[in-house]
Structure 1
Amino acid sequence: MERRKVDILCVQETRWKGSKARSIGAGFKLFYYGVDSKRNGVGVVLKEELVRNVLEVKRVSDRVMSLKLEIEGVMLNVVSGYAPQVGCELEEKERFWSELDEVMESIPTGERVVIGADFNGHVGEGNTGDEEVMGKFGVKERNLEGQMVVDFAKRMDMAVVNTYFQKREEHRVTYKSGGRRTQVDYILCRRGNLKEISDCKVVVGESVARQHRMVVCRMTLMVCKKKRSKIEKKTKWWKLKKEECCEEFRQKLRQALGGQVVLPDDWETTAEVIRETGRKVLGVSSGRRKEDKETWWWNEEVQDSIQRKRLAKKKWDMDRTEENRQEYKESQSRVKREVSKAKQKAYDELYTRLDTREGEKDLYRLARQRDRDGKDVQQVRVIKDRDGRVLTSEESVQRRWKEYFEQLMNEENEREKRVEGVNSVEQKVDKIRKDEVRKALKRMKSGKAVGPDDIPVEVWKCLERQQWNF
Structure 2
Amino acid sequence: MVFREELRQALGGQEVLPDNWNTTAKVIRETGRKVLGVSSGRKKDDKETWWWNEKVQESIQRKRLARKKWDRERTEESRQEYREMQREAKIEVAKAKQKAYEDMYARLDSAEGERDVYRLARQRDRDGKDVQQVRVIKDREGNVLTGDKRVMERWKEYYDEEVNKENDRESRVVEANKVEKEVERISKGEVRRALKRMKRGKAVGPDDIPVEVWKCLGEMAVEFLTRLFNKVLESERMPEEWRRSVLVPIFKNKGDVQNCGNYRGIKLMSHTMKLWERVVEARLRGEVSICEQQYGFMPRK
- Shared fold, TM over 0.5: no
Which structure has the larger Rg?
Answer: 1
User: Which gives a bigger RCO, structure 1 or 2 (Cα 8 Å, sep 6+)?
Assistant: 2
Q: TM-score, normalised by structure 2?
A: 0.45
Structure with greater strand percent: 1
Q: TM-score, normalised by structure 1?
A: 0.30
Structure with greater helix percent: 2
